[in-house]
Amino acid sequence: MAEHEAEQEHVLADGVWAALSRRGISRRDFLKFCTVMTSALALPMRYTPRIVRALEQAQRPALVWLEFQDCAGNSESALRASHPTFADIVLDLLSWNYHETVMAPSGTAAEKSLHDTITAEQGKYLAVVEGSIPLAYGGVYCTIGGRTAIDIVKEVCGNAYATIAVGTCAAFGGIPAAAGGVTGAVGVGDAVPGLKLINLSACPMNGANLAATIVHWLTFKELPATDELNRPLFAHGDRIHDHCPRRAHYDAGQFVEEWGDEGHQLGWCLYKMGCKGPATNYNCPQIQWNDGTNWPIGVGHGCVGCAQPQFWDAMSPFYRTLPSVPGFGVETTAEEVGLGVAATVAALTAAHAVGSAVRQRRAAKSQAAASNTATPPVTGTSQALSATASDAVPVTAGSASAQTNTEAKPADTPDEQRHDTQEEGAQP
Amino acid sequence: METIHRRGNEINKVNQVNDPSISPQESEATNLLSRAELPSTSRGTELRQTLYVWDLPVRITHWLNVLCIVVLSVTGYYIANPFIMTQGDATSQYLMGTVRFIHYVTAFVFTMSVLFRVYWAFAGNTYARWSQFLPASRQRLRDLGRMIRYYTFLRREPPAEIGHNPLAGVTYVGLYILFGLQIVTGFALYSLPYHDGWLKAGFGWIVVLVGTQTLRLVHTIIMFLIIAFTIHHVYSAVLIDLEERSGLVSSIVTGRKSLTAQHIAEAQEQPKKKAEH
């Protein structure tokens, strides 16, 4: 037994496992972590031994964590866990060389460790970016050590093996890019096109997904497969709506209509309360939060769609099904605008109908007047067929139903004159 | 009264063959009027020809569209705002599921109808063709102006047309653009749960480009725009029918309009060159 352990120590002397055992993490905790990662990556359980082997032998690649227009929420999400071992393992999987929120050095010393990593580990380290990058006015809205965010990103991410944008701000611009923002905030992909990039969006992203992405890289030596938005498919492949435990109530037509109503107490669908699960791709329902304790829909609150590129603008108002119609104010719903449009058309139509009726009546009157003054009724009609009768009908009357025969008229009496009298005023 | 049935696109031929100075309609009209039994308001009693204007595919797609729009609007509104709730065990209820199924099936029918109607704009008779919708000729442009003046009470009578008036034609172009947007946004939303296949390949990129919530908003707003169009459409059909007494409203069932000889002559009259003024 002791022999076996000594052998294992020898094999794993330089790997992750060595670092973990020095920290006093038990083999059992380590295997549990590997199993969770297999599950998070949506891999079959037979991959667990492979992940265990890969992590045991991993040479702790370097990682630098940049923070720009952020709230450090993704740092929190990555590092805080009810299980202390989880964060320990994630921190020990890599050589975490630079991370403003948690690092001990500051000032020049901190910048030196960033610089050292970029030069010594060029093309081999992982760059993690948290927070959006402001581009307005040359990027002056966010500078660190006198350098703009975009400048830092270009250097650090440009020399990295790959960049992981954590959180919706870093992935798509997020809250700083919402309407009303003045900083010209964009995500990493838009700020520096062409990077080898993984977007781990959500506000914040789930720490388990970051760990799984890193584990995937360590195990398979490549980044996980992504969707069109560079998000890993294991985390963003499916809609929340399609994995929602309340989905049966959606299909049944059972909806919460008010917080705390009977449907809410019975756990019905939150769609009418503005749940954005149908518009959001994320593994929230499976992986959940706080080590799988629960997640928003599980506690009776709708999804706010934080993992989507359109968060915040298109996902708000949070408690309405549809976004507000641009130009109509946040309190106006799409339904109100739509009904307003339809009602306006109906009102205009009704007004036009009244106008047409008046026109009809006036025309009939003037025709009757013309018939009475000019000729007896019967001959009036036939006379109207001749060119002379047509001329005799008063121009101002519009000669509405004078049945003039175009062929019989002289060629130089244009048709327009008969019709357009009201707009042109008088006959030439 | 004698009625003459002719296919729409043959009307032009007949009138081209005849000498315009001695049109048969004219002599017939004079004979008829000489009976002197007409009331003083001669509207609707003068000689009329019944013309076959809307061919069968036009009428079928029209009523198919009507049916689909009603079903899609009701089911679509329910999907956006489920106004009926079920009670009891969720496993024994499937109201939203059924409504969505009806919506999707109807959407496919509607798409086929719209696509066929667009094809028929290049294959149908004169009054089904694209030239009825895009005011490409001098005459259509002139009548477009006249129709706008008619609607804004600047002109007594609508311009004489056999098929669509040019303003209606342009409106239908706008309507079909709305139909197209509605179909594309609808299929994009329909593609959401799919990971691959033709729906994902054909429409998934729209979801990425526009975003699901914006698609849903556009899809909902267009429904209201189509409803607004329908209100106006029915009104203007009745209005022009009252003006022309042509049986316009029933023509979408029968395909036939009843038009006066003078109306037909005016409709076929070419605009004079502006140089004369």
pLDDT tens digits along B5-56: 444 444 444 443 344 443 444 444 444 443 333 343 445 456 888 999 999 9
Chain B residues within an 8 Å CB radius of A342: 224, 227-228, 231
- What percentage of chain A exceeds 70 in pLDDT? 82
Q: Where are the beta strands (DSSP E) in B195-255?
A: none
Most B-contacting residue of A238, A251, A366 (CB-CB within 10 A), to test interface? A251
Contact criterion met (CB < 8 Å) for B85 and A355: no
Contact criterion met (CB < 8 Å) for B29 and A415: no
Q: Between B139 and A385, name the one with better pLDDT.
A: B139
Q: Residue A396 — pLDDT band, cuts 50, 70, 90? A: very low
Contact criterion met (CB < 8 Å) for A279 and B84: no
- Site of tokens 């198919």: B64
Instruction: Please give the mean pLDDT across all residues of chain A.
Output: 83
Domain hosting residue A254, numbered range? 240-422
Task: Give the mean model confidence (pLDDT) for residues A209-218.
Answer: 92
Contact criterion met (CB < 8 Å) for A252 and B217: no
B172 contacts B134 by C-beta, under 8 angstroms: no
Task: Give the distance, in angstroms, between the CA of residue A263 and the centroid of all CA atoms in the same chain.
Answer: 29
Q: Between A259 and A30, name the one with better pLDDT.
A: A259
A406 contacts B269 by C-beta, under 8 angstroms: yes
Give the chain B residue nearest A305 (alpha carbons): B213
Q: Are residues A346 and A406 in the same domain?
A: yes
pLDDT of residue A60: 84
pLDDT of residue A377: 44
Chain A residues within an 8 Å CB radius of B220: 322, 334-335, 338
Q: What is the CATH number of the domain that holds A364?
A: 4.10.480.10
Q: Are residues A101 and A194 in the same domain?
A: yes
pTM: 0.81
Last residue of a domain, one of A224, A255, A273: A224
Task: Give the mean model confidence (pLDDT) for residues A257-280.
Answer: 96
pLDDT of residue B92: 92
Q: Are residues A139 and A198 in the same domain?
A: yes
The partner residues of A226 in beta bridges, in order of sequence, read A232
Q: Residue A178 — pLDDT band, cuts 50, 70, 90? A: very high
Contact criterion met (CB < 8 Å) for A308 and B193: no
Instruction: Please give the mean pLDDT across all residues of chain B.
Output: 84
pLDDT of residue B114: 97
> Is residue A5 assigned to a domain?
no
Q: Are residues A96 and A198 in the same domain?
A: yes
Q: Are residues A182 and A279 in the same domain?
A: no
Q: pLDDT by residue (tens digit) across A293-314?
A: 899 999 999 999 999 998 999 9
**A408 pLDDT higher than 60:** no
Q: With a cut of 50, list the residues of chain B below it in pLDDT.
A: 1-42, 44, 275-277
What CATH number belongs to B49-276?
Answer: 1.20.950.20
Chain A residues within an 8 Å CB radius of B101: none
pLDDT of residue A331: 78
Contact criterion met (CB < 8 Å) for B156 and A363: yes
> Is residue A13 assigned to a domain?
no
Residues in chain A: 428
Number of other CB atoms surrounding residue B267 within 10 Å:
17
- Site of tokens 């560079």: A230
Q: Residue A85 — pLDDT band, cuts 50, 70, 90? A: low
By the 10 Å C-beta count (0-12 exposed, 13-18 middle, 19+ buried), A138 is classed as exposed
pLDDT of residue B32: 41
Residue boundaries of the structural domains of chain B: 1-38, 49-276
ipTM confidence score: 0.80
pLDDT of residue A414: 43
| Residue among B33, B154, B216 whose CB faces A422 most closely | B154
Q: How far is B125 from chain A, CA to nearest CA, in Å?
A: 27
> Is residue A42 assigned to a domain?
no
- d(C-alpha A133, C-alpha A173), whole Å: 7
Q: Are residues A258 and A207 in the same domain?
A: no
Q: Residue A86 — pLDDT band, cuts 50, 70, 90? A: low
Q: Are residues A401 and A271 in the same domain?
A: yes
Last residue of a domain, one of A179, A196, A224: A224
pLDDT of residue A279: 95
Among A63-77, A350-364, A395-409, whose mean pLDDT is lowest?
A395-409
Q: Are residues A208 and A284 in the same domain?
A: no
Contact criterion met (CB < 8 Å) for B224 and A342: yes
pLDDT of residue A79: 81
Q: What is the CATH number of the domain that holds A184?
A: 3.40.50.700
pLDDT of residue A78: 86
Last residue of a domain, one of A193, A224, A255: A224
Structural domain total, chain A: 2
Q: Which residues contact A236 (CB under 8 A, 6 or more apart)?
A: A201, A227, A229, A281, A282, A283, A307
Q: Are residues A256 and A402 in the same domain?
A: yes
pLDDT of residue A187: 96
**A131 pLDDT higher than 80:** yes
Q: pLDDT by residue (tens digit) across A339-367?
A: 999 999 999 999 999 998 888 888 888 87
pLDDT of residue B226: 96
Q: How far is CA A43 from CA A38, A48, A224, B195, in A?
A: 5, 9, 12, 17
Q: Are residues A271 and A147 in the same domain?
A: no
> Is residue A23 assigned to a domain?
no
